[in-house]
Amino acid sequence: MFITKKHLSRRTLLRGVGVSLALPLLDSMVPAQTPLAKTAAKPKARLCCIEMVHGSAGSTVDGSEKHYWSPEKEGPDFEWSETLEPLKDYRDYITVVSDTDLRPAGAFIDAEEGGDHFRSTSVFLTAAHPKLTMGADIFCGTSIDQMYAQRFGQDTPLPSLQVCIESVDSSGHCDYGYACVYSDTISWASPTQPLPMTVDPRTVFESLFGDGSTPEERALRQQASASVLDRIMHRVKLLQAELPASDRTRLNEYLEDVREIERRIQRVEQHNRSGIARALPAAPIGVPDSFEEHVKLMFDLQALAFQTETTRCSAFKMSRDVCQRVYPESGVKVPFHTASHHGETPAKIADFAKINRYHVSLVPYFLDKLKNIKDGDGNLLDHSLVLYGSPIGDSNAHNHKRVPVFLAGKAGGSIKGNNHVRCKDSTPMANVLLTALHKVGMDVESVGDSNGVISI
């Protein structure tokens, strides 16, 4: 057989009525005898930013001494803290950064006192102090996910993806003089342009695989339990006939992943339409009552988006400030916000640490998905940077000192992993944001109140 330069385009789409299915990276997309680094198929870093509200038990004085969040030792020989121990199987991909402060999330003037819950989220990825207003004259900063999307998201179908778990209401004002939009989203395209976040997995699925179908057409397909794949199977078969065995296997695995996620969404919708009393009656029909199921669906959708390069950038808000949800899987029956105001009581701080641990324990599901997806000369976790953290430190005190944060992934080889870095007192958390941007290929001078980068 002759070796030729003929290959499948990285941007190949399988189209049907109301469906546009992007493909994962296949060997057939790389020209023969051409190094991957010199092709359009060369993997670019993906960036995922995850916010969990209400800080950490490890940011309290008692929790810091007991190392609920930050490991005791620095460097590669650190021992897992109680909260981060669920990440242990991904040690080579984890970088813990301790003792940074997010000062712009605090009150700058007397009128802002008490409003930490209603401005913190907007500061998480911007490190900019939001304007105190209940009107349309909102002002904050540009978030790092959107800096990345504006640079590396213009050649993908979706420049970025914004998803969340709690229902949002970006209209009107919330409390302490702040517009609700400040607490509704972590993504800001500019200081005056917050981006909405999507809570419904069905809506996210349609944004990844829909192609111009009307709401009525989508509703009919969903009610009939039809799959988006049904509309393109003839094209799939034609493509499979031209692919080598390894690519056929990879394509089949990808299609099965898409179908399984779609089945799970359909099961949720069928349950919610059944008339059975819902735990979340006000939530969209595609939202599961189960927090864990909802989180995993959103992780699956982000992994699919990264795999196909439908987007290279996502922002995931896993909760909302003053959320009173109960997480029985954590072993704690106290509602989230109530538990976060532990009154500095050691036993209550310990309970709050259990909730923190439960939230962190869901992240390995996402890391596992990424690690098991081949991407160029490695896997998606090799080529991704996942930032997880909170804009609040000690939630009982409403402060923003020693905010919890860790990084996962190798960002294309720019991060080694297996590291715990303890920063000097008063180091801006913005330095973590700036460092993250540098590691995914963004040569920017500053983010918010940053004053340098962190050696990781």
Q: Where are the beta strands (DSSP E) in 86-216?
A: 94-101, 161-164, 188-190, 193-194, 210-211
pLDDT score for 217 = 59
pLDDT score for 96 = 98
- Which residues lie across from 378 on neighbouring strands? 375
Parallel/antiparallel/unpaired status of strands 313-317 and 46-51: parallel
| Nearest residue to 265 via CA among 233, 288, 232, 290 | 288
pLDDT score for 210 = 80
CA distance 264 to 288: 10
**Token pair of 229, please?**
């794949």
pLDDT score for 453 = 97
Domain at 47-212+284-439, CATH from 3.40.1000, 3.30.450, 3.40.1130, 3.40.720: 3.40.720
Q: Output b/e per residue, 212-222; b: 16+ Cβ within 10 A.
A: ebeeeebeebb
Per-residue pLDDT tens over the stretch 228-286: 888 888 888 999 899 999 999 999 999 999 999 999 999 999 999 999 999 888 899 99
**Token pair of 326, please?**
């109960």
Please report, in angstroms and rounded to a whole number, the separation of the first and last CA atoms in the chain: 47
C-alpha 168 chain-centroid distance: 17
Low-confidence residues in the chain, pLDDT < 50: 1-6, 33, 40
pLDDT score for 168 = 64
pLDDT score for 215 = 62
Helix ranges, 100-168 (H):
116-124, 144-152
CA distance 145 to 150: 9
pLDDT score for 216 = 63
pLDDT score for 3 = 38
pLDDT score for 30 = 76
**Token pair of 26, please?**
């296949």
Burial class (CB in 10 A: 0-12, 13-18, 19+), 367: buried
CB half-sphere exposure, 78, CA atoms < 13 A: 29
